[in-house]
Structure 1
Amino acid sequence: MGELETHRFPCGTCGSDLRFAPGERLLRCDHCGATEGMPAASPWDRSAVAENDIRGALATTAEPEMEETRVVQCTSCGAQVEFDPNEHAAECPFCASPMVTGTGINRHIKPRGILPFDIDQGGGQNAMQKWLRGLWFAPNALKKYARSDHKLQGIYLPYWTFDAQTETDYRGQRGTKHKRTVSDGKKQTTIRWRPVSGHVSHFFDDVLVTGSRTLPENQIRKISHFDLSALEPYRPQFLAGFRAEAYSIDVVEAKTLAEQMIDGEVQTLIKRDIGGDRQRIDDMQVTLSDVTYKHILVPVWIAAYRFRGKSYRFVVNARTGAVTGERPWSPVKIAIAVVLGAIAAGIVAFISANS
């Protein structure tokens, strides 16, 4: 069994917990203001973020490096989030449902890399409020929420990255456009096809796959633009004052998802190799080798609230400031807009009829 991982670091001045300061590369005490520096990562540190051979994860006799953390699972949305064992009750950061924090132990593959928080809570709130103010037909309660100082929660989301060398033999067809003039003088375009075959070789670096089922796919897609060249070797100090979601998609399932993504990219490479005006792929045989992976953590700010019995959330990418979220609609505002639209259309029709 691995040691229980802790992300608490006491202040040397007053004994309170230190918190990682986004964008500053230091730990700060919110109680007395004392700081503790963290050395900047060199390009050599970043390039040395360790990869794991996939064969170790798939074999029952060669287990990768593991760690254990205390987590609680939300009974509403299923999120497994790390919690301080001294907490007894809290809200789920993903759906705002009450959570009674137990002391469940989660054993998982230890993260190899991490993207530290770069945008602080104030920056996250500004991004969220700007997004909320731009929503049409939102209930007044949501507008009020946008003006409030409701605190965001900093969460590290789990992801997997995969590297792989691919060699692909393919058979297909190249289509070439041909224009000719038909009997009535009009131009007609036809496609002439001829069989082709070939081979494409490509190395895929850091294919990114989410390890979470908590956020909907459309939200994951909108915030999953991360500069992975800025990954740093995992250090628990980066998590001081923040929480982390435990992965619910394991490395075996993530590998299958990565292979599907790679297949899609290989098809694009094959079509480029076929050339011509149109392309058809009749068969392709993809061989993967030197497959490696790593478990990484990426930062987001999350705000969740309940409106008329339903949970809504807003997510801010804590590196780029990109925002996504769910929003309620105001039936009253929509009805008023429909009525006003009908009145405007009636006025236009009346003027047209009498002009």
Structure 2
Amino acid sequence: MSHSPTPAPSPEQEHRFPCPQCGADFRFAAGQGRLICDHCGAEAPIEGDGFHPHPIRELDFRAALDAELPAQEIEETRVLQCPNCGAQVEFDEKDHAAECPFCATPVVTDTGTHRHIKPRGVLPFTLDERTARKAMTDWLGRLWFAPNGLQDYARKGRRMQGIYVPYWTFDADTKSRYTGERGTIYYVTRTVMRDGKQVQQRVQKIRWRPASGRVARFFDDILVLASRSLPKRYTDALEPWDLAAMEPYRPEYLAGFRAEGYTVELIEGYDEARDHMARVIERDVKFDIGGDRQRIHNIDTDVKDVTFKHILLPVWLAAYKYRGKTYRFVVNGRTGRVQGERPWSAWKITIAVILGLIAAGIVGYLVALNQGAL
């Protein structure tokens, strides 16, 4: 098996890497950190994989809002937009029709391009499709009242799609001033009437005193989903992501996979990040106030040095149409964590109800016999 240096992509085929021996396309081998040609077996290392002594550089948020990012931070890719779920997914120029990997809707690919902020980092796949499929079918097998047919269909059905899902990360330095009150619990004894008798009762009270102060926090890599194609509750359930293992973006990691374009714009992602900051700062303020109870009247936060990056995280995705309904499942391409739509089997539920009624009837009959014997 030969080893060749990674071939340089042409501008119009940025995410395709032809094998220098046979001309077929290389693909990125999940978990192996190199490119492999399935046609002839040739391999090519990815330059710098696993070794990047400097942290991935963030971009200036204000410059991005003012459209002042350097030209090299912007790229154009050919995408299709699904008319059903709105996903924007990169496709090869040779494809003229395809199926949306997010909802299994047949679509005709668009020949247009999508201009966007180039990814700064990518978390490569470490699980291959076979391992991800096993994780999904095992997850389905553990679900009560799931239809057996769906599990078999998922095990034997079409291949799962490896998708790099877009996220934003935000860094920010914050300083907050607050006013509020600190509550201290104390007890008093009161005499009350109970059943016609006087009894002593302890009553809890809170003594409130004014409180004010300052808290500071630096936020690093607040993660915000930049896709609308998957329910957020599914992608949240795939966390945590090992962002420390992220590689600087290189298109070689996308070879053989698809990448979704972001549909949550940068300013929308920042608004969500600010909501996250506000929740954390509120907890910091309560801790700073101290006492047994806290009241917050006002928090005034200065946010400075906001930076961001567009990153791609690996997700194995399956969208199966089974008996007229589409079921979607997602698998973390690093950990094998699974989430998806919860399928139900009507006949399994019916049988369980019938068996429950039979069991209740038997118990009732035995109780009646026992009472009759007495």
TM-score by length of 2: 0.90
CA shift in 2, pair 1:180/1:43, >3 Å: farther
Note the 1:125-164 alignment, pairs <5 A: 125-148=133-156, 150-164=158-172
CA contact (8 A) 1:133 1:146 kept: no
Classify the secondary structure of the residue corresponding to 1:126. Answer: helix
Q: Which amino acid aligns with 1:41?
A: G
Rounded to whole Å, the distance in 2 between the matches of 1:310 and 1:66 is 39
Say whether 1:340 aligns with 2:340: no
Instruction: Select the structure of larger CA radius of gyration.
Output: 2
Offset, 1:98:
1.0
Say whether 1:10 aligns with 2:25: no
Partner of 2:273: 258
Rounded to whole Å, the distance in 2 between the matches of 1:147 and 1:228 is 30
Say whether 1:179 aligns with 2:221: no
Classify the secondary structure of the residue corresponding to 2:200. Answer: coil
- Residue from 239, 246, 257 that aligns with 1:224: 239
Partner of 2:75: 67
CA shift in 2, pair 1:62/1:15, >3 Å: closer
Rounded to whole Å, the distance in 2 between the matches of 1:281 and 1:239 is 48
- Residue from 67, 83, 86 that aligns with 2:91: 83
Say whether 1:313 aligns with 2:322: no
Cα RMSD (Å): 1.6
Partner of 1:291: 306
Partner of 1:243: 258
Rounded to whole Å, the distance in 1 between the matches of 2:302 and 2:13 is 38
Q: Which amino acid aligns with 1:248?
A: T
Partner of 1:50: 57
CA contact (8 A) 1:57 1:63 kept: no
Rounded to whole Å, the distance in 1 between the matches of 2:44 and 2:326 is 38
Q: Which amino acid aligns with 1:264?
A: R
CA contact (8 A) 1:5 1:67 kept: no
- Residue from 81, 95, 112 that aligns with 1:104: 112
CA shift in 2, pair 1:133/1:146, >3 Å: farther
Q: Which amino acid aligns with 2:271?
A: T
- Residue from 33, 41, 47 that aligns with 2:50: 41
CA shift in 2, pair 1:290/1:36, >3 Å: same
Say whether 1:323 aligns with 2:338: yes
Percent identity of the aligned residues? 54
Higher mean displacement: 257-266 or 61-70: 61-70
Q: How many residues align?
A: 351
Partner of 2:3: none
Rounded to whole Å, the distance in 1 between the matches of 2:290 and 2:22 is 68
CA shift in 2, pair 1:94/1:62, >3 Å: closer
TM-score by length of 1: 0.94
Q: Which amino acid aligns with 2:347?
A: V
Higher mean displacement: 253-262 or 184-193: 184-193
1:65-98 alpha-carbon deviations (Å, 9 max, x no partner) = 2100010011111111100111122221111111
Rounded to whole Å, the distance in 2 between the matches of 1:139 and 1:305 is 13
Rounded to whole Å, the distance in 1 between the matches of 2:181 and 2:287 is 12
Say whether 1:19 aligns with 2:27: yes
- Residue from 220, 225, 236 that aligns with 1:205: 220
Higher mean displacement: 13-22 or 145-154: 145-154
Say whether 1:282 aligns with 2:300: no
Classify the secondary structure of the residue corresponding to 1:238. Answer: helix
Offset, 1:5:
6.1
CA contact (8 A) 1:91 1:97 kept: yes
Rounded to whole Å, the distance in 2 between the matches of 1:22 and 1:62 is 32
CA shift in 2, pair 1:231/1:318, >3 Å: same
- Residue from 26, 37, 59 that aligns with 1:29: 37
CA contact (8 A) 1:71 1:104 kept: yes
Offset, 1:62:
5.0
Rounded to whole Å, the distance in 2 between the matches of 1:61 and 1:240 is 30
Higher mean displacement: 12-21 or 58-67: 58-67
Q: Which amino acid aligns with 1:237?
A: E
1:218-274 alpha-carbon deviations (Å, 9 max, x no partner) = 112101321212221100000000000000001011111111111011101111111
